[in-house]
Chains A and B, each alone.
Chain A
Amino acid sequence: MSEATTATRSAHLDDYIPIVGAPEIAGLRALASKLSGRSVQMVNSTAIGGGVAEILNRLVPLMQELTLQTRWDVITGGNDFFEVTKQFHNALHGEPYQARKEQFDLFLATNEANRQRMQFGSDFTVIHDPQPAPLIEARTGNQGYWIWRCHIDLSHPNQNVWAFLRPFIHRYDAALFSSPAFARKLPIPQYLFFPCIDPLSEKNADLDAAFVRSVVERFNIDPKRTILTQISRFDRLKDPAGVVRAYQIVKRYEDCQLVLAGGGAADDPEGGAVLAEIRQLAAGDSDIHILDLPPWSALEINALQRASTIIIQKSLREGFGLTVTEGLWKKKPVIASAVGGIPAQVIHKQTGMLVHSVEGTAYQIRFLLSNPALAQKLGEQGHEHVRENFLMTSNVRRWLTLFLHALEDNPKR
């Protein structure tokens, strides 16, 4: 597998000016001016696919443009290593799991091989997620500022795996979490770092209305009628069955269609089973559109979100919920469960509606369909919330602020 990764240079800072305004970009340049020439190393476990790689692909070139010497490295490992890390990932999300000694040994041996192969020594080293966490062993003395960026929900971790990882985390200078609820009691400072979306990416850029219509019609959805949409993997934790039940309650009173669009069914046996269950639940209702989309469907997802009347995210558990961010950015009224990072995005009755049940979801759908002016206001305020807090430019600003704070805290660095 690859090591040093070349991020795609697709957008420049000035390209964001029409979206966030010239003062915001000038602010980034002012902050970066005090960091010019400083080196940053980002390390994660995959160059393509997944939210972290998606963010780094955009973040790294922007930091380079701001004259920070930024590099991105990806750890390598065999299939057996990544099978173990997937099990660790699920365990850290709270699933029952008892790792065996040989699994811990394989995890450590793969990290050690990466440590020997990779070069370290940047002013700031950012290790993303648990897979490469033991790379902290590469630190010599107190050299540089080492940051662990945890993108997953650690609120109820499996103790077996967390007890193994925790000693590594204690040796970092700081840990970053996507929600205060995900943080753990640690002896190092913990900071709130929201994930972000890129308004210039295929999934979020403005689309021509004719294109949106053509996509919707291609999937046999009627663009003139109400469209309720949930975009997510076919995963029980996203509660697609609950969404169908909420739709069925609404359907008694309102003419509407339901779109459940996502992926993950092809390469995930459980995803396939969930998809089959949902198809069975929806059988006989031609207004329910279940779309199992391939991974390269960013434009289609963008179009489906833009064509929707209401976006739903009725997850039972959630990381941050970037599909919520995407819906808000498209000025759509969003109804979402109050779990994970969603309450940071959906401020109840201000930028969307928070719900706790199937019945609550159905009630809020009916309420917003009957109050289109309020639905529009929620969508507009949601868009502003994302512009201020959850765009790529806000993410860059947080990194710069963290680096500056680290230097202020220890001017000898």
Chain B
Amino acid sequence: MKRAEHPFQFVTAAYLTRIGNQSAANLGELREALETCSDASVFYHTFQSLERHHFLRVGFSNDFAHWIIAALNRGELAEQMAALDLRSYVALADLRADLLRVTDDFCHAHPRELERPAFEPFYFCESLEVTIPGDLQAWTLEEFRAGLNLLNHASFHFHFLISRLRLQLRTNDFSEWFEKELGLPYLAQKTAHIDIYSNTLEDARARLNQLIEMEFAA
């Protein structure tokens, strides 16, 4: 089994939720706040929301889509918001632009919806990330597998999804290391294709373990 030149450094990640000072009582206010809220807020309600709700395999994508269906009962807009696949984004600015575009399209077609009061307000929050480089390093695929199974959910999510924002690439820390350090492009590609929307984080980890087993068998 090939030994990497640089080890995979497992990180422990944790998130603190800061309550923002913006809220929305209707769609117009949501649109306005979406434009001005911090990147940390966009991150909290999308990328981080997916981790908090990873156990929901269907019907949950991000906080905006959920609020639009639960508090405004606008299925069409909620579907469009939910359809924004976070794996396509490497910058929060692009994600914010698309959230605004979808909202604007809907508001232009349904101007009366802007001021229709929601059942409950939407409260903007922010995610604050704390990371601790762990003692755990992997130089081989075998060591990687051992470390993978010691990662908690937030840390797995940090390496697997949030890494896109850090790397500015449509991939993840695991795939990057498989390809660049171990010369395993097929494993890297298969790993990047694991669907985090229809899998829980545990399912995703199990699938990655399975792919590693297949690599060993090959």
Q: Does B19 contact A (CB under 8 A)?
A: yes
The one of B12, B16, B56, B120 in contact with A398, judged by C-beta atoms closer than 8 angstroms, is B16
Q: In the bound complex, do residue B14 and residue A347 qualify as a contact, i.e. CB atoms below 8 Å apart?
A: no
Interface string of B118-143 (1 = CB under 8 A from A): 01110101001010101000000000
Q: Are A349 and B59 in contact (CB under 8 A)?
A: yes
Do A350 and B16 touch (CB < 8 A)?
no
- Does A408 lie at the interface of the complex (its beta carbon under 8 Å from any beta carbon of B)? yes
B150: chain A residues at CB < 8 Å are 22-23, 26
A366 within 8 A of B: no
A30 touches B134 (CB 8 A): yes
A388 contacts B by Cβ under 8 Å: yes
Asked if B151 CB lies within 8 Å of chain A CBs, one says yes
* Contact (Cβ within 8 A) B18 A189: yes
Central interface residue in A191, A398, A402, by most chain B CB within 10 Å:
A191
Does A39 make an interface contact (CB < 8 A)? no
Instruction: Known A30-B132, A348-B70; judge A190-B15 contact (CB<8 A).
Output: no
Q: Are B17 and A397 closer than 8 Å at their CB atoms?
A: no
Instruction: Say yes or no: is A177 at the interface (Cβ < 8 Å to chain B).
Output: yes
Cβ-based interface call for B116 (8 A): no
- The answer, yes or no, to whether B53 is at the interface (CB within 8 Å) is yes
Is A31 interfacial (CB 8 A cutoff)? yes
B52 touches A180 (CB 8 A): no
Q: Which residues of B contact A349 (CB under 8 A)?
A: 59
* Minimal beta-carbon separation of B58 from chain A (angstroms): 9
Give per-residue flags for B146-177: 1 if the beta carbon is below 8 A from chain A beta carbons, else 0. 00011111110000000000000000000000
Query: Mask for B47-65, Cβ within 8 A of A = 1, else 0?
Result: 0000011111001100000
Is B66's CB within 8 Å of the partner chain A? yes
What string of 1s and 0s marks CB contacts (under 8 Å) between A13-40 and chain B? 0000000011110110011011000000
A401 to B12 alpha-carbon distance, docked (Å): 11
For the complex, is A356 an interface residue (Cβ under 8 Å from B)?
A: yes
* Among B56, B128, B152, residue most surrounded by chain A Cβ atoms (within 10 Å): B152
Instruction: Give min CB distance, A367 to chain B, whole Å.
Output: 17
Given the known interface contacts A26-B152, A401-B130, A405-B130, the answer about A388 and B55 at a Cβ–Cβ threshold of 8 Å is yes
Number of interface residues of A (CB under 8 A): 40
Kindly provide the distance from the CB of B79 to the nearest chain A CB, expressed in whole angstroms: 15
Contact A350 B60 (CB under 8 A): yes
Complex Cα–Cα for A192 and B125 (A): 9
- Docked complex Cα distance between A385 and B52 (Å): 8
Contact (A27, B155) CB under 8 Å given A181-B121, A190-B19, A356-B119: yes
**A405 contacts which chain B residues (CB < 8 A)?**
16, 128, 130
CB distance from B137 to the nearest CB of A (A): 14
Q: How many residues on chain B are close to A (CB under 8 Å)?
A: 36
Question: Is B21's CB within 8 Å of the partner chain A?
Answer: yes
| Residues A27 and B66 in contact, CB atoms below 8 Å apart | no
- Bound-state Cα–Cα, A381 to B200, Å: 11
Chain A neighbourhood of B56, CB < 8 A: 347, 350, 381
Kindly state the separation between the CA atoms of A185 and B19 in the bound complex, as whole angstroms.
10
Does A343 sit at the interface, judged by CB under 8 A? yes
> When the two chains form their complex, are residues A27 and B130 in contact, meaning their CB atoms are under 8 A apart?
no
**A191–B20 alpha-carbon span in the complex (Å):** 9
Q: Which residue of B lies closest to A399 (CB)?
A: B16
B123–A180 touching, CB < 8 Å: yes
- Find chain B residues with CB under 8 A from A23 CB: 149-153, 155
Chain B, Cβ-Cβ closest to A339: B120
List A contacts of B154 (CB < 8 A).
27
Chain A nearest CB: distance from B21 CB in Å? 7
Interface check A404, CB cutoff 8 A: yes
Determine which residue in B12, B21, B56 has the highest number of CB atoms from chain A within 10 A of its CB, and name it: B12
Whether the pair B52, A404 counts as a contact (CB closer than 8 A) is no
Known: A181-B121, A183-B19, A192-B19. A347 touches B66 (CB 8 A): yes
Given A190-B19, A397-B14, 17 other A-B contacts at CB below 8 A? A24-B152, A26-B150, A26-B152, A30-B132, A31-B12, A185-B21, A190-B18, A191-B19, A192-B19, A192-B125, A338-B119, A381-B55, A381-B56, A388-B55, A389-B52, A401-B128, A408-B130
Closest 10 CB pairs of A and B: A180-B123, A27-B152, A384-B55, A192-B17, A30-B12, A401-B14, A23-B152, A190-B19, A183-B19, A401-B16
A-side interface residues toward B, CB under 8 Å? 21-24, 26-27, 30-31, 33-34, 177, 180-181, 183, 185, 189-192, 338, 343, 347-350, 354, 356, 381, 384-385, 388-389, 397-398, 400-402, 404-405, 408
